Amino acid sequence: MVVRISTDEIEIFKKCVELNEPFSLQEIKMHVAERCNLRCRMCRDWSNHSGAELSFEEIKDIIDQAKKLGLLVLKIFGGEPTLRKDLPEIVCCCHDKGIATKMTTNGTLINRKLAYDLVKSGLSEIVFSVDSFSSDIHDKLRGVPGSWKKTDDAINFVTEAKKSCRSNLRISANTVVTRCNYESLPLLFRYFASKSIKRPILIPVIVDPDETEKSELLLRRNDILTYNHKILPQLTEIALEESFDIKEEELQMYGTTDEEIESSTKSHYSARILVNAYCFKPWYDLSIRGNGDVSPCNMIKEKRYNPIGNVKNENLEQIWFSDRYREFRMMCKRKFEQCKRCCYSRSAICYSNLMKRLYGDG
């Protein structure tokens, strides 16, 4: 979700941006489980996770605090969130307070009962991680044989539960695009259509400078040219035909000019989009890890800002309005080096459009 601003609020938001003050805490990304049952090649988290987790009572208290600050959406992440046994209770707690919940999962632990419990609890959106229509490619990227079959079953279970509960649950899918799977994306889009998944989210793989072991997953210049000239037209056609909720700009992940393509080979995906804009995320959003650490953005590695506080030691309101958070918002206008590697092109596009809405094309 990108910040919701009504016409009446646009000047208020603009003032908040100028003063580096928060607008409203509309969204929280909460890592409810710092564990994972897969061994994904494009992710280090499964090897780095501490296993620390907030208790249900702590999560409930955070939700109560955040609701007073304007919380609209709780994004549930891991590790793998379905490793928690009280996940339906967390969803239900939010639903009872009028807070939407969006969960990202690999789906491999979702059986028919858990699917029903999550849907019945009022889950707003579930995002499955699916990297290919080919089980061999998907399982190779996810690091555990049989993963694709379990995820496919989970999608079916959730779809059944959605119908049974007459729910408005949205079923979406994340795909990390790598050299291993980009050529098979059209088949994957057809698979999504067969499952009535209308919101495919393509995420180009991120490789930080110290992650040399992941560099083989990056698309090279020839790969990007193949994507742009061969794969992209097919994806655009399928998206239009199936009425997918994905913009053409999102599909055009790598740029078209020589300079943009060169940047993308270094996983600098958002640099071209944010040339005349910056990220507005710190004005309406934050992340909370399992140990209680609060970060304005998980991409930022500077220790001064990650973490920026801890909900076990401080009130959420104190952190949200702190001088250090205000400083971070100011620094965002200058842009961190990591901003170039942001893979959320949909957000970057929206921020660019919001910049025009605030200040015009000039």
Stretch 9-25: mean pLDDT, rounded?
92
Query: Is-contact 177 202, C-beta < 8 A?
Result: yes
Residue 275: both structure tokens together? 């040339």
Residue 2 pLDDT grade (very low, low, confident, very high; cuts 50, 70, 90): low
Stretch 20-32: mean pLDDT, rounded?
95
SS3 call for 251: helix
- pLDDT tens by residue, 46-104: 666 667 899 999 999 999 999 999 999 999 998 999 999 999 999 999 999 999 999 99
- pLDDT tens by residue, 304-361: 888 999 999 999 999 999 999 999 999 888 777 777 667 665 666 676 677 777 777 6
Element (H, E) at 172: strand 170-177
The conformational region for residue 213 under phi > 0 = left, psi -120 to 50 = alpha, else beta, is: alpha
CA 6 to chain CA centroid, Å, is 24
Residue 72: both structure tokens together? 């609209």
Higher pLDDT, 184 or 361: 184
CA angle 5, 323, 45 (to 5 degrees): 75
Mean pLDDT (the chain, rounded): 90
Give the pLDDT score at 95: 97
Higher pLDDT, 207 or 183: 183
Give the pLDDT score at 166: 97
Residue 290: both structure tokens together? 């399992």
Give the pLDDT score at 168: 97
Per the DSSP assignment, residues forming a β-bridge with 76 are: 30, 103
Over 324-347, what HEC string results?
A: HHHHHHHHHHHCCHHHHHCCCHHH
SS3 call for 127: strand
Type of residue numbered 154 = A
